[in-house]
Structure 1
Amino acid sequence: MSEMVHQFKMTFPKARVSMYEAQLSAFLPAIRDGRLDFAIGTLSDKMKLQDLHVEPLFESEFVLVANRARIGNGTVRLASLQHEQWVLPETNMGYYSELLTTLQRSGIRRENIVNTDSVVTIYNLVLNADFLTVIPCDMTTPFGSSQFVTIPIKEALPVARYAAVWSKNYRLKTAAASLVEMAKHYSSGQGNRHWQPLQIIA
């Protein structure tokens, strides 16, 4: 995303860009009433988006991640992790809603899951409190860190479908529309990326 935003600012140097860290579901009200130009996030079949434009971008595999200090036991089943502490993004729809269903089928209870809107908090709890999390496979080495390890599991985790979303009741500004096109380009040419909701004031 950093390269894309840099290119955007070179093209639209006077545009004001605001970026927010949260799940797509948290920003749907702001998208619908025009306070937010668009957002990029994960979709699910249960989401009601008939009043929104949806531009599919890419799919991403997610993986189970732990502190590297954890002793590995090869491939494990989720049921063997039901007494562990977990940290996941806060959301009631989208990818993590589907993931929660998968975890609960394996006996992982809600009371063992801490929810947060902060990616930094997720990393801190995994690193310093031995929590487990599930994140996109390209986010396992934040800032070049080698302190996290992927735990192979026997169950298949849901695949995340990312899309750009904006209101049908508001026309995208020229700058915002250009950024959506850049997102489509970077998604198709450079694989998985972690996206955040964006507001553009040109």
Structure 2
Amino acid sequence: MKELPKIHQLKNLRAIIQYGSIRAASQAMHQTQPAMTRSIQELEKILGVSLLIRGVRGAVLTEVGRTFEPRMNMVLNELEWAVDELQHASQGSVTFGCSHLPAFGVIPAVIKTFQQRYTTARITVVEGQLSELLASLRIGRMDFFVGVISPDISLHDFIEEHLAVARFCVIARKEHPLINCTSLRQLRGAKWYLPRASAGYFSDMEKLIFPYGKDPTCSGLFGDSTTVAEQLILNEDYLFVGPQAMLTIPHLKDILRQIPIKEKIPNGSYSLIYRQQQTLTPIAGLLINEIRAAYIELMAREVK
């Protein structure tokens, strides 16, 4: 290849993919539509392929374009991360994902201590299940993830560090009308708040908790917000499938209880994952070390 694509051409293509048309992308990027079109034509000429199919309803990627997109995103994200690191070298920034147990228990305490030590650190936490955040991890929008890992999700391009195994159970406020139920059959008509997941541990949770089917009165909500979960459980009598460790969290231990059903909820395996080809920023490495130490301390307490 005699000439490599220019950064502005790649960013324009990414904008068209994001906004669905050259017109919308040019407005978002503060360019004229002819200038945006010209940059894409120059990019296609450099690559020697057609990347977009233009129609009256917008622009869509060709088959070759769909192949090119993830590699392009990886290049742009790595470059943007590198520039960001240089611009914030004195303070550092880290973005990571976590599922509900870390968000409820371990992570808040770690972040509090970490920010007291590194006062200029810029930390962004994205709450969710691995299946929902994996794409962001793969293209470098996140440094790492802490949460439930499942063999259903391929992690061949990641480094995985096992952190803990957690026992799961059905959780409710201690005055819930169904608090003394002993079988999932008795919970068929309850209201449930369940983690949202397209694959992995939580993807088949509905089948697991409704082996006898649902009553017509049963309702369910799906999401990844610990704040919403807490409010629904405490104020609206929703049930929740979560780790038993939630029942030991100081502000929850006196108001939540485990419903003593006879059916066993599978354990959850918690891990730390990050991309094999990724060089972690210094601040991300320091935060990971703090998370590792917190889980080691947690496991030591549980053994005692």
TM-score normalised by L of structure 2: 0.57
Higher relative helix content: 2
Among 3, 8, 15, the residue aligned to 2:121: 15
Are the equivalent residues in 2 in contact too, given 1:87–1:115 (CA < 8 A)? yes
Pairwise CA RMSD? 2.4
Shift of 1:15: 2.4
Of the structure 1 ranges 172-181 and 25-34, higher mean CA displacement relative to structure 2 is found in: 172-181
Compare CA radii of gyration and give the structure with the larger one: 2
> Where does structure 1 lack aligned partners over 5 or more consecutive residues?
193-202
Amino acid at match of 2:226: V
Shift of 1:88: 0.9
Are the equivalent residues in 1 in contact too, given 2:167–2:268 (CA < 8 A)? yes
Relative to structure 1, is the Cα distance of residues 175 and 80 closer, same or farther in structure 2, using a 3 angstrom cutoff? same
Matches within 5 A, 1:53-202: 53-71=159-177, 74=180, 76-108=182-214, 112-140=219-247, 144-145=251-252, 146-191=254-299
Shift of 1:10: 4.4
Which residue pairs with 1:49 in the alignment? 155
Shift of 1:36: 0.6
Of structures 1 and 2, the one scoring higher in RCO (CA 8 A, sep 6+) is 1
Q: Deviations over 1:92-115 (max 9, x none)?
A: 223322533422434248x73210
Amino acid at match of 2:211: R
Question: Aligned to 1:149, what secondary structure does the other structure show?
Answer: strand
Q: Deviations over 1:44-71 (max 9, x none)?
A: 1101111111111111112211232224
Are the equivalent residues in 1 in contact too, given 2:193–2:238 (CA < 8 A)? yes
Are the equivalent residues in 2 in contact too, given 1:75–1:151 (CA < 8 A)? yes
Are the equivalent residues in 1 in contact too, given 2:172–2:179 (CA < 8 A)? no
Structure 1 vs Structure 2: percent identity of aligned residues?
27
Distance 2:116 2:233 in 1: 37
1:26 has 2:132 as partner: yes
Amino acid at match of 1:182: E
Distance 2:110 2:291 in 1: 7
Amino acid at match of 1:186: A
Distance 2:210 2:176 in 1: 23
The aligned length equals 191
Matches within 5 A, 1:34-45: 34-45=140-151
Shift of 1:80: 1.9
Are the equivalent residues in 2 in contact too, given 1:99–1:158 (CA < 8 A)? no
Question: Aligned to 2:264, what secondary structure does the other structure show?
Answer: coil
Shift of 1:31: 0.8
TM-score normalised by L of structure 1: 0.82
> Where does structure 2 lack aligned partners over 5 or more consecutive residues?
1-106
Relative to structure 1, is the Cα distance of residues 63 and 11 closer, same or farther in structure 2, using a 3 angstrom cutoff? same
Distance 1:141 1:189 in 2: 15
